[in-house]
Structure 1
Amino acid sequence: MSRNFMRSRQSGSALVVGIFIITVMFVLTAALIRVLGDADDNVNLEVWGTRALLAANSGADAALAQLFPPGGSAATDCSAVGTSWTPPNQPGFSGCSISVGCNLITVNFNGDTLHQFTLSSNAVCEAGQCSGGAGGTSNCLRVNRMVEVQARVD
């Protein structure tokens, strides 16, 4: 008689253990899905950040080419540099806008005049629906990178 009594007391424990295991597996699966989603977002940010950095580098290169034209004489002021640079119509530049700035410091030292230019290139690359309004959507990805270059003319 004691055998039958023991079976009846343990008959529901397998159900409780099964529900516990299913719950734990569900929580682990949900956490893994979230980690994979975050990793995907980080890869997108890394790619767009690299695109913005290279676009800013290209803007600085274009400004340097305006200051120091090939086969021409070097500029003595910032008037040769525009405030923005329009990138070529290439897939790597799509969604990117580049603004360029120039600052000139002129120094007279021992009878020599030195012109030091500080060029800044700021690239903003965006994808999705970035309307700029207060009610922004979650479909917007915007990355900003800035490059500063210094050049001197003796």
Structure 2
Amino acid sequence: MYRRRQQGSALIVAIFVITVMAVMAAALVKINWSQSDTTTREVLGTRAWFAANSGIEWGLNRLFPVGDPNVTGRCDNSNPSFSNFHNCQVAVSCQAIDVDSVIHYHLESTGSCGSGAIKVQRTQEVWAKRLKP
């Protein structure tokens, strides 16, 4: 009679083990997806930061062209068109502030990368100045 009371206990243990394994598998899938999402955002954030940096360099080169220190360029709000910036856009704004004998320039560049559900933006700003002639 003792043997008959224990019949079916292996089935209960098997169901319990299968349930625990299913919960663990679901948790691992969620962790893997979360890690993949984080890595994607990190890569896009780095690309956006470098795109914004390229916009700042482009704007400074327009303000102070290389080759002739006496020539100053334009301070306007135009967007550069860079090649090989896959799924990234750059917007550059420039503001000239005239104070006494100094012109201060405020450059701000925003790089945005990605599309759809994941889009990342990074902004950089730079102040530059030149003396009036």
SS in 2 for 1:124: strand
What is the percentage of aligned positions where both structures have the same residue? 38
Q: CA deviation at 1:116?
A: 1.1
Q: Return the alpha-carbon distance in structure 1 between the equivalents of residues 13 and 24 of structure 2.
A: 17
Q: Structure 2 unaligned segments of length 5 or more: list them.
A: none
1:31 to 20, 27, 34: 27
Q: Indicate the residue corresponding to 2:72 in structure 1.
A: 75
1:106 aligns with 2:98: yes
Compared CA separation, residues 152 and 74, structure 1 to 2 (3 A): farther
Q: Indicate the residue corresponding to 1:151 in structure 2.
A: 128
Q: Indicate the residue corresponding to 1:126 in structure 2.
A: 114
The size of the alignment, in residue pairs, is 130
Q: Indicate the residue corresponding to 2:87 in structure 1.
A: 95
CA contact (8 A) 2:75 2:96 kept: no
Q: Structure 1 unaligned segments of length 5 or more: list them.
A: 131-139
Compared CA separation, residues 144 and 45, structure 1 to 2 (3 A): same
CA contact (8 A) 1:66 1:81 kept: no
CA contact (8 A) 1:106 1:116 kept: yes
1:116 aligns with 2:104: yes
Q: Return the alpha-carbon distance in structure 1 between the equivalents of residues 32 and 121 of structure 2.
A: 25
TM value normalised by structure 1 = 0.78
Q: CA deviation at 1:27?
A: 0.5
User: Between Structure 1 and Structure 2, whose CA radius of gyration is higher?
Assistant: 1
Q: Indicate the residue corresponding to 2:119 in structure 1.
A: 142
TM value normalised by structure 2 = 0.89
Give me the CA root mean square deviation: 1.6
Runs of 4+ displaced beyond 6 Å: none
